[in-house]
Amino acid sequence: MASSEGQLDKTQIEDATDFSEWFSVEPATDCPHTATDVLSADGCCFDLKSPCATCANEGENMLCLACHEVHCGRHVGQHMLKHNESIGHPLVMGFMDLSFWCYTCEQYIVQTNPRLLPIYAALHTAKFGEPPPGVAGSVAISGESNSSSSSAC
């Protein structure tokens, strides 16, 4: 419980610093689905504030890399998982951390994968107002993007 001043008590601090159940995730360098299930980012406008197409959630949403639909993640309404189960589109990118996930392989994929890099660069530019480090000049992004608009067009 928080004290009357809004500070954490000793138990909350101990719980927050117990990393025994944490684990690290090592993303795969490749996934067979990146060869067939990723639409081009060319001509697409990605808005990091797009609501879930199913429930209109504006929080933790993901972009389907096959059809560019936006749905919420597992910790909200699981609509991207349901999209995968009903349509079969395996690859998604999370707006919160710009990570790639393959539902079929059940693994994260590195952001520097050559087939995923254009979409990663577009969304990174939309979120942070600049291309990812080491990518400047190698990925074409149409239109003007900046972190205040959170849109890559």
CA atoms within 13 A on the CB side of 78: 5
Local structure of 13: helix, strand or coil:
helix
Instruction: Please tell me the predicted confidence (pLDDT) of residue 71.
Output: 97
CB 115 within 8 A of CB 38: yes
CB 99 within 8 A of CB 108: yes
pTM of the model: 0.73
Please give the Cα distance from 143 to 130 (Å, whole number). 13
Beta bridge partners of 28: 109
pLDDT string in tens for the chain (153-residue length): 444 455 555 665 555 556 566 667 788 898 999 988 787 766 567 788 999 999 999 988 999 999 999 999 998 999 999 999 999 999 999 999 999 999 999 999 999 999 999 889 988 988 999 999 887 644 443 333 334 445 554
CA distances from 57 to 28, 51, 76, 122 (A): 29, 5, 8, 22
CB 89 within 8 A of CB 83: yes
Please give the Cα distance from 105 to 111 (Å, whole number). 16
Which domains, from first to last, does the chain contain?
Answer: 28-152 (3.30.40.10)
98: left (phi over 0), alpha (psi -120 to 50) or beta: left
